[in-house]
Structure 1
Amino acid sequence: MSLAPNRTDGPLGKLQREGDTLKAKVDEVTAITKKWSPKSASDPDVISCHQKCVAYKIEASSLLLRANSLQKHEEPKAISNFEQKKSDEVKRLQSFQSRLDRLLNSMEDLEDGDELRNTRRSELGEKDEGHEDNNEDDEDEYSEEDDFAEDEDIDDEEDRSIYIATHAFAKQQPGDLGIKVDDIIEVIEKRKDGWWKAKNEDGEIGLVPSNYLELYDDDDDDEEYEDDVDNKKEEEEQKQITEESQLRREDLSQTGGNEKDDTEDHRTPKSSSSLNYWTFSGEWDSMDSGKELWKGVRDAVTETQKTDVTDVLAAMGALPAGFRPSTLFNKLQAGPEYNLCNAVLPKFNESQLSFADLHLDPTTTQIRKLVTRVLRNCKLVECRAIPLPGTGVEILSHHVRVCLFDGSKILSNIQTVRAKVNPVRPKMWRFSTKSTSATSGLGSSLTDGYNIVRTDATHSNVGVLFELGVTYIRNQTGERGELSCGWAHLKLFDEQGNPIPNRKYDLNLNGGTPYEQGIAVDPSILRRASSNRFRALLVKQPTLTVLMGTPTVEKRKYLELLPATIVVLSRFAELLAYYRRVLADALVRDRLAPLDADLVHSPVLATFVGSIDQSDIMDAMHNVWEEKKGPLTRADKRDKENMKNVFKSVVMETAFPLLNATTMPESKWADVQTEQARARIIEQTLQVTKQPQGVLRYLLAPPGDLQPFDISEVTFDLLHDHGRSLT
């Protein structure tokens, strides 16, 4: 006797039987993947399994489309609980898709998985052929942005059955569906006679004229429409306020009254619970949104206490409600406490007589490693559906600031990663996640999303704080500012105290500051999503995608030489590790008296300290370091003293001339002209210093090319450079 569920002979039963067959296939590939442990995506078994999963996902999508279009009247026999059975089948097919997605992601996350990922996009129609680039270098640089844009194209394709009514249509005969302007409907069948079968928000089904409908093109259209309506309303209300004010002045002039004295008698509104305004009748009355907005604008401009540009923009309605002045930017502006330079300096212990995190191993006379509770890779991948500031401001930089955070205080330095934004899709941010030791261009570290987080904190809420931000300039006044576009906190341990697994995380962004809870980035998104069930499917919430992992054994040996709590780019880990080695030699191994606070003669330490927070100079040193390492043998690389000498030569041949050049402009964040000028000078300087005796000729240049000599160029001041870390 068969225990299989009874299937009918109609369309639903046929679909259920095909779903059973697909389930057996999915179970088969799932069982296969549980038995293996491949290390590379190029393994033939992985490729074969990946091809099967792609084919099964296509089959699942086809079945899902058929399931959604099932109708009860099409069944040859009456079926009890038809809608419930249909819903169950839809959910089952969706679960198959989710299982296949997880299998595909696990195979594509293996080493050399990019080819599998590209195959998947090509097979599933996720590749936008119109955006291919014939230039291989450009393709490598912007491939992630193109992929991001292609994902949005997929979303548009999936939403193609949702339409909005542009004209009202009254029901004329049985079988018609009445619609009103701006109704959101789902088109079930597109007939050739121009009458489409559609379903409205109440579930009613009927025929509507196709020329009365327009494709619903995502929430951006809603925003533009709502903005136009709001702008017209605000213009009318501002005009009304101006007319009332003019009539009030004319009335006062005719009666000989004093406007200042008259208004002072009624300066305090009757109710302090809501904003009010002065009416022509001489009484205070409650404001509606438009008048409230313009009063806020006037207050922001006239009141002396409102000096923040952000307050003015918020009062003008140019910012989403969840935007705030950047918390982490203000921390960086307050002082050097959260700079990387301060983070790599050794900290004194409680007695202030020795170092707490810089010790020598007596057997090797080298710096001792520090093993910490947390040592993880944290790769920024992408940001989706990030709201845009309003008109009147120009965005100079999109970026994410990263630090360690326990819910109440910042534990580490603050690392800034600049995003790549496609002008066609400004709500999508992408980051470079390719970690390579190969020589890269100047400024490439700014967009490098491959970070290392390291801490020994024991707090249960310790995690990584991500604050999305933009640097803007006001078009009218030229004022610059920094805005927070949302934040997310990824805890590094679960409720049981176990480290979170290595995988990709999609984090929903919060509005306000990291110290506020329950604030949406843009409340209008939630309002549109809750207005009806169709919009809830279309509206996209702001999210940040990050990939957590574990450093390799080779990378770990450098990271364990760094301080116990730090956030640093992976590409700079080796340079910072050798800086710590040289620092340990100068401050611990070679000091005659442990309590000696005299100047330490070390041009390398003095120069590197001034370069750490200048990303373009660090990029230049990284490139020269890789060039010098290239011809070295394994024995040379294992010789720590030899590698320290190589590090010293890199610093003195690269950073020292650049820091002392008179033509080198001061670094300015998000200033394109300054960044380009610095890049030109760095390239010209490196061309000279890389030649034989090039550094000597550069330093012997005519007077005026270099800064006047100062003792700080060749000495490391223990008290001055550590003054910020004494606490």
Structure 2
Amino acid sequence: MPQKKKGALQTVQRDTDDIRRRVDVLTQDVSGLDVEERTETTQRCLDLQNTVTETLKKLQQLTKADESTPIGNYEQRKHDELERLRTLQDRLRALRLQLQPQDKGVGPSSDGEQESMGEEEEESQEDEEDEDCEEEDDDDAAVDLVAGDAGRGRGPAEETPPSYVALGAFTGDEEGDLTVQKGDVLTVLQKNEDGWWFAQDPKGNRGLVPQNYLQMISPHEQDKQSEDEESDEEEYARNDPSDVQPGTSSNWGSSQKAVAEMDATDVLSAMGAIPPGFRASTLSRLLEEGTSYKASHYIQPKLSQSELCFKDLHLDPNTGKVHVYSSLVCLTLTLWSCRLIPPPGVGLQVLSRHVRLCAFNGTQVLSNIHTVRATHSPKTWSFSPRVQLVHTQSQDTFENTCSQIYVSGVLPSLLDGDCFFRCDSDSPGLGILFELGITYIRNSTGEKGDLSCGWAFLRLFDDNGTLIPPRTHELTLHGGTPYEREANIDATSNKRGTNTGVLQQMLMSRKQPKLVVKLKSPNTRTREQLNLLPDTMVGCLSTLPLITLYRQLLADTLLLDRVTMQNADLICSPVLATFPKVLDQPDLMDAFKKSWVETLNSLKRSDKKDIRVLKESFESVFLSSVFPLLFLAEMPAPLWAHEDTETQRARLIYNPTQKITMETMTSSNHTHQAFNVSQVTYDLLDSAWR
């Protein structure tokens, strides 16, 4: 019987198994080597590195067409093989650097040979070392130069390698990783293409650090930092000179910064209050930086490159409506549920569980950040509850206050998992970033914070540049942040590089945290409304009709009613000026939506199709429902996941006995904020350039 022909992927898998066995043998042989054996072992390590590189290139070029027989789950198997080879690459780099000669001092030796060495011998030795370095590869040459410079001293004419500062704390959980604290100053010895750089800390420890954790310090900043550290040392020595230890002064400034800027997440991790993989929320921090990632920023018209006209707001001369613009990606999605999210430990009270989503290309956020709050059961987070909420002590305060508007059949925007997604970026890595988060308060200190419980990324284009079809996706949640190497949420999850069977992988997959999302193609009516929006925006689907009417009012006011297109005076329009503020406050948006639905139901069928009637009704309902609430003195400013604030705002917004209208604004029963011209005027330049 003829021997069964091996497939291309199977051949690579067997090659990888052989390389792994050779690396295991090399790892055992490294300890206890003399000089001659070290040279031979270094050559073996280099040969293995070249073999791994060649195998990686071969694997990356493989496709399904290269296989002699069909292989199920081909892409996943290929990805697993890539991870195995990259893990072997990391091990070999660590071994290669371990085989480098240790740094030697420049002081005199016991027999006085270094003292008697003349200048000519020193120069000839340096020349020989330089020639040897030129024969090495670029990456290895960089490492050897750093090691050699440390051993023989660095002359004044030689360049100092650039220093990098750690932007965050990184804990190395695998062999060869370097643990660093936020603010540590590192020297990068080798830059690898996979994004993991080999660095050395001030104590001489070496290891791999993610590239996105490091930021280069310019020579000017480095000199300034050195001066600041010296001044800190001098001041400290003056105050308590007995505590200054020799040899530690160079680390004093960075140590002080690391202690002062210690991340709260590190403290909670050390206490065991949060599961592995939880981090400080990335998207929450962006939302707190201002309005750049809020819907109120993206809804405003943007000026063109010449700044003489609008880039994304034009009128159709035939219909008088906003000109329709199709975006590269225009779809709707529904958040169904997420399961097996590990809860935080004792000592933390959860104020909110939520999902934040946005457009993301792997390196930067490309849209506003939209938030959907989840209702919680012991094992599942769910969205868009379709039954009326009942007041119970176990439910979140927000759910209790929202039950007051369920009677009208209007689902609160913050609980609505039906969203629209619109993005015009041509980045091949474009997708939707989901970050599951909690807002917590520490029982002992009263400190509040936001944590990421995991994130998932849904890529919207395949390798051929085709938009993925609309269907339900079950996304695996990853720990850490989108900018670092994948971290496990569950402490029992596998580390990378471990070899497990297919059945075990299937069983473990069922125990991993998952987020279920359904992508849908919008119907004709919804697509028409989405095409009236800016080219990039994410939001709640139920607010879409109101946003499109606001855009229509913007077009009328800015393109038809202005005397000339060069006129940039303030425009008297309370609706245009304040609707973006309402859009960023979900409870006020719900009140507006509720009043709008009631008004829309009272209109005739012909009026519902008349754009003029709809615009007039929009302005009337807005001014009579939510505009008075914006500037009510009794209305507290919105605070995220703040129980007392949400309760007080809900009492004023939804209480029918204290309904505030334009007629009651002059009543003595209510007090209002001092009048400001920005309440009733729209600033074109400020809105377009913001």
TM-score, normalized by length of structure 2?
Answer: 0.58
Amino acid at match of 1:718: L
Confirm or deny that 1:341 pairs with 2:296. Answer: yes
Which structure 2 residues correspond to residues 258-657 of structure 1 after superposition, within 5 A? 304-422=259-377, 425=378, 427-432=379-384, 444-526=412-494, 537=507, 540-657=511-628
Partner of 1:249: none
Cα deviation code 1:303-335 (max 9, x no counterpart)? 742343222112223223311111111111111
Cα 1:620–1:340, aligned 2, differ >3 Å: closer, same or farther? Answer: same
- Measured after TM superposition, the shift of residue 458 of structure 1 is 1.4
| Structure 2 match to 1:718 | 684
* Partner in structure 2 of residue 78 of structure 1: none
State the Cα deviation string for residues 679-698 of structure 1 (Å, max 9, x = none): 11012368635xxxxx3431
Check the 8 A contact 1:469/1:486 in 2, yes or no. yes
Q: Decide whether aligned partners of structure 1 residues 649 and 687 sit closer, same or farther in structure 2, where only a CA change above 3 A counts.
A: farther
Distance 1:442 1:361 in 2: 33
Offset of residue 703 of structure 1: 7.6
Q: Distance in 1 between matches of 2:475 and 2:507?
A: 18
Q: Does 1:664 align with 2:616?
A: no
CA distance in 2, matches of 1:476, 1:468: 25
**1:428 CA displacement:** 1.8
Superposed displacement of residue 524, structure 1: 2.6
How many residue pairs align between the two structures? 430
443 and 363 in structure 1: CA distance in 2 versus 1, 3 angstrom threshold? closer
Offset of residue 566 of structure 1: 0.6
Q: 1:221 maps to which residue?
A: none
Taking structure 1 as reference, are residues 588 and 261 closer, same or farther at Cα in structure 2, changes over 3 Å only? closer
Give the superposition deviation at 1:531: 9.5
**Partners of 2:245 and 2:409 in 1: CA distance:** 67
Find the aligned partners of 1:586 and 1:386 in 2 and give their Cα distance.
Answer: 48
- TM-superposed CA distance for 1:439, in Å, is 7.7
Shift in CA distance, 376/514, structure 1 to aligned 2, threshold 3 Å: same
Query: Which runs of 5 or more residues in structure 2 are unaligned?
Result: 1-239, 389-404
Once the two structures are superposed, residues 253-294 of structure 1 have per-residue CA deviations (whole angstroms, 9 ceiling, x without a partner) of: xxxxxxx999976997xxx9xxxxxxxxxxxxxxxxxxxxxx
Q: Is the 8 A contact 2:360 2:430 kept in 1?
A: yes
Unmatched runs of 5 consecutive residues or more in structure 1? 1-259, 273-298, 690-694
Cα deviation, 1:130-167, whole Å, max 9, x if unaligned, reads xxxxxxxxxxxxxxxxxxxxxxxxxxxxxxxxxxxxxx
CA spacing shift, 1:264–1:395, aligned 2, 3 Å? same
Q: How does 1:132-281 map to 2 (within 5 A)?
A: none
Relative to structure 1, is the Cα distance of residues 530 and 540 closer, same or farther in structure 2, using a 3 angstrom cutoff? farther
Matching residue of 1:706: 672
Q: Which amino acid aligns with 2:292?
A: E
| Structure 2 partner of 1:173 | none
C-alpha distance in structure 1 between counterparts of 2:485 and 2:327, whole Å: 30
- 1:530/1:536 contact within 8 Å kept: no
Cα gap change, 1:315 to 1:309, in 2 (>3 Å):
same
1:393, 1:474 within 8 Å by CA — same for their partners in 2? yes
On the 8 A contact 1:442/1:616 being kept in 2, the answer is no
Q: Distance in 1 between matches of 2:448 and 2:267?
A: 13
> Match of 1:520, as an amino acid?
N
Describe the shift of the 1:421–1:372 C-alpha distance in structure 2 as closer, same or farther (beyond 3 A): same
- Aligned equivalents of 1:505, 1:446: Cα separation in 2: 22
CA distance in structure 1 between the partners assigned to 2:385 and 2:422 by the alignment: 19
Please list every run of at least 4 consecutive aligned residues from structure 1 whose deviation after the TM superposition is greater than 6 angstroms.
Answer: 260-264, 299-303, 433-439, 527-536
- The residue that corresponds to 2:111 in the other structure is none
The 1:701/1:443 distance shift into structure 2, 3 A limit, reads farther
For 1:564 and 1:503, the matched residues in 2 are separated by: 23
- SS of 1:587's equivalent in the other structure is helix
SS state at 1:513 partner = coil
Aligned residues of 2:628 and 2:662 also touching (Cα < 8 A): no
Tell me, what secondary structure is at the counterpart of 1:367?
coil
Between the aligned partners of 2:366 and 2:583, the Cα distance in structure 1 is 19
Q: Deviations over 1:29-56 (max 9, x none)?
A: xxxxxxxxxxxxxxxxxxxxxxxxxxxx
Which amino acid letter does the alignment assign opposite residue 339 of structure 2?
R
Over aligned residues, Cα RMSD in angstroms? Answer: 3.2
Does the 8 Å contact 1:451/1:567 carry over to 2? yes
**For residues 520 and 630 of structure 1, do their structure 2 counterparts lie closer, same or farther at Cα, with a shift above 3 Å needed?**
same
**Distance in structure 2 (CA, Å) of the matches to 1:584 and 1:377:** 25
Letter matched to residue 626 of structure 1: V
Residues 351, 641 of structure 2: 8 Å contact kept: yes
State whether residues 562 and 577 of structure 1, in contact with CA within 8 Å, keep that contact through their aligned partners in structure 2: yes
Distance 1:667 1:432 in 2: 22
Deviations 1:489-525 (A, max 9, x none): 1011212222212211000111111122332223433
Indicate the residue corresponding to 2:192 in structure 1. none
Distance in 1 of aligned mates of 2:481 and 2:245: 40
Name the CA shift for 1:265/1:443 in 2 (closer, same or farther; >3 Å). farther
Q: Deviations over 1:565-610 (max 9, x none)?
A: 1101100000000000001111111111111110011111112122
8 Å CA contact retained: 1:439, 1:627:
no
Q: Alpha carbons of 1:559 and 1:665: their partners in 2 closer, same or farther (altered >3 Å)?
A: same
CA distance in 2, matches of 1:483, 1:684: 34
What is the identity, as a one-letter code, of the residue corresponding to 2:434?
F
Question: In 2 relative to 1, CA 372–524 (structure 1 residues): closer, same or farther, beyond 3 Å?
Answer: same
Question: What amino acid is the match of 1:680?
Answer: R
Q: Supply the distance in 1 between the matched residues of 2:601 and 2:370 (Cα, whole angstroms).
A: 29
Tell me the SS of whatever aligns to 1:722: helix
